């Protein structure tokens, strides 16, 4: 079985969010999450790229792994999913955890007709205002 690195792996490694397609794996760098489904991986990867595209301008950074802080990618993952959840729940407080990322993305595609129609711009504020949890 080919392993596809989860586009939202930071949210799953912390066990704060969940996904029915996510599978815990160990890589050289430590714990990680792989996706069990090629189709689900493709959807999440495209959604993350769209989120990143609209958020990087708001963060004032370029898409360059050498100069972009890792914390920006983490904020895009956490804040983006929470913002998408808030959008789907008609503005309800999106501060809770996402229990199933696969289901959330599926619901968003169902509501908007296609992945490209999901209004990522609508939750840029969720991404930029997301507060990272401090390490202990």
Strand pairing partners for 5? Answer: 34
- With respect to residue 9, please indicate whether it lies within any of the assigned structural domains: no
- With respect to residue 135, please indicate whether it lies within any of the assigned structural domains: no
- With respect to residue 8, please indicate whether it lies within any of the assigned structural domains: no
Write the pLDDT tens digit of every residue in 69-95: 999 999 999 999 999 999 998 766 555
Q: State the residue range of the domain holding 117.
A: 37-129
The pLDDT value recorded for residue 65 is 77
The pLDDT value recorded for residue 44 is 97
Total of domains in the chain:
1
> Residue ranges of the chain with pLDDT lower than 50?
none
The pLDDT value recorded for residue 93 is 58
Q: Which residues are CB-contacts of 51 (< 8 A; sequence separation ≥ 6)?
A: 76, 80, 120, 123, 127
The pLDDT value recorded for residue 105 is 97
Name which of 40, 127, 34 is nearest 77 in CA terms.
Answer: 127
- With respect to residue 56, please indicate whether it lies within any of the assigned structural domains: yes
DSSP state of 97: -
Q: How many CB atoms lie within 10 A of CB 53?
A: 13
d(CA 115, CA 64): 25
- With respect to residue 112, please indicate whether it lies within any of the assigned structural domains: yes
The pLDDT value recorded for residue 97 is 83
The pLDDT value recorded for residue 63 is 87
């Amino acid at each position: 079985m080919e392993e596809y690195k989860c586009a939202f792996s930071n949210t799953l490694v912390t066990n704060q969010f969940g996904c029915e397609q996510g599978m815990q794996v160990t890589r050289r760098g430590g714990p990680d999450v792989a996706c069990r489904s090629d189709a689900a991986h493709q959807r999440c990867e495209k959604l993350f790229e769209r989120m990143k595209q609209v958020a990087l301008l708001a963060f004032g950074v370029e898409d360059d792994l050498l100069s972009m802080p890792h914390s920006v990618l983490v904020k895009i993952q956490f804040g983006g999913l929470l913002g998408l959840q808030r959008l789907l729940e008609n503005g309800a407080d999106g501060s809770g955890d996402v229990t199933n990322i696969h289901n959330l993305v599926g619901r968003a595609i169902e509501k908007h007709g296609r992945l490209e129609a999901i209004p990522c711009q609508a939750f840029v504020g969720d991404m930029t205002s997301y507060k990272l949890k401090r390490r202990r």
